[in-house]
């Protein structure tokens, strides 16, 4: 039986008026930012060591087969980080000495020959391969600040579950990357570590909250990365930095060891941890490890016949307060649809899912919790303290970011999650999820913009605050989604799409990502 959309009522005139004013302000702001920043921005230095260009699985294979040592790879990553960080400021804390010690141990295992290369592939598939993660996922002995000044001295006492699983696979954590304050904004900036810049043009943002991780992967500072995502925090940075990023199906990867955790069960469902990589081929083996026992639920080893998938797509969500998708991105999407039609005779079906217009109220409404945002970033939180900190921030004297304080102000009221208002948001969410489930079935994918524009200038997201809804709504629905790069815009900035599948059909997203990488080239060196 087909699902019928719940009628959510017309969008109020006030909201449409605000949307129009936002568009006008954004237009004026874009002119200002172009004049302010100019047309030239710095890029990171070119890559000089070929090992940094290779997939993590290939690096692991070469280490196992004694073609290169783990120590050499770790040392190469350390040199690269030192080269790029003065330009982009993506890397915030290292464990280089410990990483080199662990690399020596990995090389010793291989030198002794106690296990064959095939045994190592099965037991420790990433033996000796260096990786990074964001400063909100616990790594024992390192800071876990989440960009919050009041946590600047907090040291993690144990590894997050995903980190321990990767270490069991032989991977070596070499350090942490930058995040926005409390990981709740889509530009990476905080008052502990400062701002992170885009490796393709340092006048542009890297996204958030896994912005530092997206940047270091694009700039080839580590072999792979781990991010987290509650509203697009893996997919937007992956998109802005021209790499692959996968948001797994809900409840398939443990959130243990992440700060902040979801304050409600619903928030914890939205929140997930996933891989960020230069190459699509790395996504599945990393996901197999970090999903633990759940990899069986995901059926990651089940083959995917690309020729038998169904393709659906939508160019815009038409939501008020959200920008229209850039024509260059629409052209890239059209090329993807055409590719599947020409190569596999798959005719894509364009959709116009009207309920996507309500993405913002659905996400915000179902993200609400009894714990106000301000309580996380301001000790002994109160209205007066927020206003005082806003004034101090304008004068450059606050430990909090201005966007963090405004968010705290907007999210300062306690809410009744059992009220009819919030029950209605959940009904809308459930209805939209059913529409997608019926559409996608067991073999369908939905091609959708990851963001309406290429990477904006620094601070420009304040004029486009709702543009993250293209990714956020997918968190609300719990579906897996993979960001796929599709080349560069006319301004030399990465553009791409996200590929979405039904619950636990992550393998479809990953297979399509690998297919599109072969067809369109994937990651391009900045």
Q: What pairs with residue 204 in β-bridges? A: 457
- Closest by CA to 452, choosing from 38, 17, 26, 14, is 26
CB-based contacts of 259: which residues, under 8 Å, 6+ apart? 136, 138, 144, 146, 151
End-to-end Cα distance, the chain: 49
Task: Report residue 375: phi and psi, to 5°.
Answer: -70, -20
- Closest by CA to 275, choosing from 262, 266, 284, is 284
Active-site annotation holds for 134? yes
- CA–CA dist 480, 250 (Å, integer): 7
Active-site annotation holds for 233? yes
Q: How far is CA 318 from CA 3, 261, 354, in A?
A: 21, 31, 8
Q: How far is CA 337 from CA 20, 35, 343, 381, in A?
A: 31, 36, 10, 50
- CA–CA dist 347, 519 (Å, integer): 18
Rg (CA), the chain: 22
Catalytic residue among 8, 70, 169, 209: 209
- CA–CA dist 389, 396 (Å, integer): 10
- The 3-state secondary structure of 289-350, one letter per residue: HHCHHHHHHHCCCCCCCHHHCEEEECCCCCCCCCCCCCHHHHHHHHHHHHHHHHHHCCCCEE
Triad 205, 206, 209: Cα angle to 5°: 115
Is the separation of the CB atoms in 81 and 216 below 8 Å?
A: yes
Length of the chain: 526
Catalytic residue among 233, 249, 254, 359: 233
Handedness of CA 15, 447, 234, 364 (dihedral sign): positive
Q: Which contiguous run of DSSP H or E holds residue 28? A: helix 13-37
Catalytic residue among 62, 124, 134, 368: 134
Task: Report residue 449: phi and psi, to 5°.
Answer: -60, 145
- Closest by CA to 127, choosing from 197, 33, 60, is 60
- CA–CA dist 475, 28 (Å, integer): 32
Q: How far is CA 145 from CA 52, 87, 253, 389, 424, in A?
A: 28, 23, 22, 19, 35
Q: Which residues are catalytic?
A: 134, 209, 233
């Amino acid at each position: 039986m087909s699902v019928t959309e719940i009628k959510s009522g017309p969008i109020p005139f006030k909201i449409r008026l605000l949307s129009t004013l936002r568009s006008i302000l954004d237009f004026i702001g874009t002119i200002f930012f172009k004049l302010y920043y100019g047309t030239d921005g710095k890029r990171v230095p070119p890559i000089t060591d070929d090992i940094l260009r290779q997939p993590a699985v290939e690096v692991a294979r070469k280490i196992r087969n004694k073609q290169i040592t783990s120590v050499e790879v770790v040392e190469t990553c350390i040199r690269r980080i030192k080269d790029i960080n003065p330009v982009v400021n993506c890397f915030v804390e290292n464990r280089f000495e410990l990483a080199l010690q662990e690399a020596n141990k990995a090389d010793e295992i291989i030198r002794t020959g106690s296990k064959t290369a095939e045994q190592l592939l099965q037991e420790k598939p990433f033996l000796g391969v260096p990786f990074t993660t964001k400063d909100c996922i616990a790594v024992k002995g390192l800071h876990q600040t989440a960009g919050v000044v009041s946590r600047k001295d907090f040291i993690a006492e144990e590894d997050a579950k995903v980190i321990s699983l990767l270490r069991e696979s032989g991977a070596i954590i070499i350090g942490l990357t930058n995040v926005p304050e409390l990981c709740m904004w889509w530009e990476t900036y905080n008052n502990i570590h400062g701002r992170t810049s885009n490796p393709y043009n340092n006048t542009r943002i890297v996204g958030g909250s896994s912005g530092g991780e997206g940047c270091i992967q694009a700039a080839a500072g580590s072999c792979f990365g781990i991010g987290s995502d509650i509203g697009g925090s893996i997919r937007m940075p992956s998109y802005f930095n021209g790499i692959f990023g996968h948001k797994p199906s809900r409840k398939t990867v443990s959130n243990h060891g992440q700060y902040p955790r979801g304050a409600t069960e619903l928030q914890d469902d939205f929140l997930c941890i996933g891989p960020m990589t230069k190459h699509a081929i790395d996504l599945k083996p990393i996901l197999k490890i970090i999903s633990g026992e759940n990899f069986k639920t995901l059926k990651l080893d089940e083959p995917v016949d690309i020729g038998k998938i169904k393709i659906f797509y939508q160019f815009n969500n038409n939501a008020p307060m959200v920008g229209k998708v850039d024509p260059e991105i629409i052209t890239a999407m059209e090329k993807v649809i055409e590719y599947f039609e020409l190569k596999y005779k798959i005719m894509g079906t364009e959709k116009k899912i009207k309920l996507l217009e309500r993405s913002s109220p659905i996400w915000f409404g179902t993200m609400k919790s009894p714990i106000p945002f301000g309580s996380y970033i301001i000790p002994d939180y109160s209205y007066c303290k927020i206003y005082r900190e806003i004034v101090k921030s304008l004068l450059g004297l606050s430990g909090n970011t201005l966007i963090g304080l405004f968010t705290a102000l907007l999210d300062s009221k306690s809410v009744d999650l059992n009220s009819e208002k919030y029950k209605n948001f959940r009904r809308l969410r459930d209805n939209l999820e059913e529409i997608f489930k019926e559409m996608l079935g067991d073999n369908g994918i939905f091609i959708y913009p990851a963001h309406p524009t290429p990477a904006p200038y620094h601070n420009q997201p304040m004029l486009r605050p709702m543009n993250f809804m293209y990714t956020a709504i997918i968190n609300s629905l719990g579906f897996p989604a993979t960001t796929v790069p599709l080349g560069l815009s006319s301004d030399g900035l990465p553009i791409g799409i996200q590929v979405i599948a039904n619950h636990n059909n992550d393998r479809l997203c990953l297979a399509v990502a690998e297919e599109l990488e072969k067809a369109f080239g994937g990651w391009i060196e900045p």
